[in-house]
Chains A and B, each alone.
Chain A
Amino acid sequence: MYNAFFNLLKRDLRLAFRHKSEILNPLFFFVIVVTLFPLGVSPEKQVLAEIGPGIIWVAALLASMLSLDSLFRSDFEDGTLELMLLSEYPLPILILAKIVAHWLITGFPIIIFSPLLGTVMFLSNEAIETLMITLLLGTPILSLIGAIGMALVVALKRGGMLLSLLVLPLYIPVLIFSSNAVGSSMAGLSISGQLYFLAAFLIFCLTLAPIATSAALRVSLE
């Protein structure tokens, strides 16, 4: 079972590294969206520091959502997904491997790049540190919840718009606690409550989301 998990993880990572755009596009999207705000709102330091945490988090959330398509789409089209459903291994484990791979491909680069964007948005050093921690706890949640939505729409031709309708409302708690944690640490307040919530929510999603995703996939591939 562990072998199946790690083999699938390796396969997905290898596939992603052969199509580098899968890794780079969400990252570019993330950077561009954040760049739009100083242009659209105001380049002043006070304004940006005020809205920065929220903007960076909204951008991360959209980037993660738009990259969900790569999670199941190609495997669905060439029939790999169907074979996974038929395999002897428990489906939630295989799906978890795919989600972890997806997070490593799309979520992890965002975390690496976030200090840069934090600096551009005039966040303090502590706030940037918090931003990275919240992204580390939060982006896996986005991938896990997003996988449920993606599994529901994978068989549809134009699922993109629909996916955002299904998934974005469920992302709200992550957005609230994460951007608030970053804002609070700017103000020098304690952030342990928010981080505990994110960690608890992560564990909760880690336990249940793969099961819900496999149920949804079985419906989609019927």
Chain B
Amino acid sequence: MMKAIMKFIYQFASPKHFYRLSGKIIPWFAWLAAILLIAGSIDGLFIAPVDYQQGDSYRIIFIHVPAAWMSMFIYMVMAISGAIALIWKIKLADVIASSSAPIGAAFTFLALVTGSIWGKPMWGAWWVWDARLTSELILLFLYLGYMALESAIEDPRAAARACAILAIVGVINIPIIHYSVEWWNTLHQGATVTKLDKPSIHISMLIPLLLMALGFKLYYGAVVLMRARNKVLVTEQNNRWVKEIIG
């Protein structure tokens, strides 16, 4: 049974099969992402009610929160696919991990920028050493380290394995870093931060948030598959099926 499953997975993960299948999936992901992002933006920017404490400026959370979710989600994807690549030697997992890194870094950067733009009217400063912003900044450093290591090692297979180890070490450390930053923050800032205590979000604001979050996920799916397809073509360029495609 296990053997049959593994055989299926290996077959599915063969570059040729992946290339064909992902070609079919990408348009679905991309179109669905576009629809969801447009619907979520319209709902979030125009239909959702004005917040009684923050006015209209809260609306940036419809970008900020999904981007922050994605930044953590993508690092998890990288660590898990790194582990899969190390354990079962599935090359495709390496491709997914390394294609994810720049996207994850971009989402992290987006979360930081939107957080700081939101912070300007809320805190009166572009940057506050808030626990979540600080953790997000450290996460960006982890992404940058990952990408720097990848580009420093010339042999792509060795680079992928080294990066997989780094991602796993990072993912174990992320909760430790996150909670120590949170602990540090409560000690140092305490009363000075006007962090609003978590209000339960109203359903009219939750719907656009979820639409945007799902849209971001599908967008990531489409882009990561596109990048992975390119990488597969480059690494398999000497195989016949690639030559047939390129012509």
* Complex: chain A residue closest to B184, CB-CB: A176
Interface CB pairs A-B, < 8 A, 30: A148-B165, A152-B162, A152-B166, A153-B149, A155-B153, A156-B153, A159-B152, A162-B145, A162-B149, A165-B141, A165-B144, A166-B148, A166-B149, A168-B141, A169-B141, A170-B170, A170-B177, A172-B138, A172-B177, A172-B181, A173-B176, A176-B183, A180-B184, A215-B86, A216-B162, A219-B158, A219-B161, A219-B162, A220-B162, A222-B158
Those 6 A-B pairs whose CB atoms lie nearest each other, nearest first = A173-B180, A165-B145, A169-B141, A219-B161, A166-B145, A176-B184
In the bound complex, what is the Cα–Cα distance between A168 and B145 (angstroms)? 10
* Complex: chain A residue closest to B138, CB-CB: A169
Query: B169 an interface residue at 8 Å Cβ cutoff?
Result: yes
In the bound complex, what is the Cα–Cα distance between A166 and B158 (angstroms)? 17
- Please, which residues of chain A bring their CB within 8 A of the CB of B194? none
Query: B142 an interface residue at 8 Å Cβ cutoff?
Result: yes
In the bound complex, what is the Cα–Cα distance between A171 and B35 (angstroms)? 42
B interface, over-half SS: helix
- Please, which residues of chain A bring their CB within 8 A of the CB of B238? none
Query: A57 an interface residue at 8 Å Cβ cutoff?
Result: no
- Please, which residues of chain B bring their CB within 8 A of the CB of A165? 141, 144-145, 148
Query: B187 an interface residue at 8 Å Cβ cutoff?
Result: yes
Query: A201 an interface residue at 8 Å Cβ cutoff?
Result: yes
Q: Given A156-B152, A165-B144, A219-B158, answer yes or no on A173-B177 (Cβ-Cβ < 8 Å).
A: yes
Is the beta-carbon distance between A216 and B165 smaller than 8 angstroms?
yes
Query: A212 an interface residue at 8 Å Cβ cutoff?
Result: yes
In the bound complex, what is the Cα–Cα distance between A156 and B184 (angstroms)? 36
Q: Using a CB–CB distance below 8 Å, which chain A residues touch chain B?
A: 148, 152-153, 155-156, 159, 162, 165-166, 168-170, 172-173, 176-177, 180, 197, 201, 208, 212, 215-216, 219-220, 222
Query: B53 an interface residue at 8 Å Cβ cutoff?
Result: no
Interface residues on chain B, number (Cβ under 8 Å):
27
- Please, which residues of chain A bring their CB within 8 A of the CB of B168? 212
Query: B192 an interface residue at 8 Å Cβ cutoff?
Result: no
Min CB gap A108→B, angstroms? 25
Q: Given A162-B152, A219-B162, A220-B162, answer yes or no on A170-B169 (Cβ-Cβ < 8 Å).
A: yes
Q: Given A148-B169, A156-B153, A169-B142, answer yes or no on A177-B158 (Cβ-Cβ < 8 Å).
A: no
In the bound complex, what is the Cα–Cα distance between A169 and B75 (angstroms)? 15
Q: Given A176-B183, A201-B176, answer yes or no on A153-B152 (Cβ-Cβ < 8 Å).
A: yes
* Complex: chain A residue closest to B183, CB-CB: A176
Query: B173 an interface residue at 8 Å Cβ cutoff?
Result: yes
- Please, which residues of chain A bring their CB within 8 A of the CB of B180? 172-173, 176-177, 197
In this complex, which of A172, A215, A216, A222 has the most chain B Cβ atoms within 10 angstroms of its Cβ?
A172
In this complex, which of B152, B158, B173, B177 has the most chain A Cβ atoms within 10 angstroms of its Cβ?
B152
In the bound complex, what is the Cα–Cα distance between A155 and B168 (angstroms)? 20
- Please, which residues of chain A bring their CB within 8 A of the CB of B149? 152-153, 162, 166
- Please, which residues of chain B bring their CB within 8 A of the CB of A216? 162, 165
Is the beta-carbon distance between B166 and A166 smaller than 8 angstroms?
yes
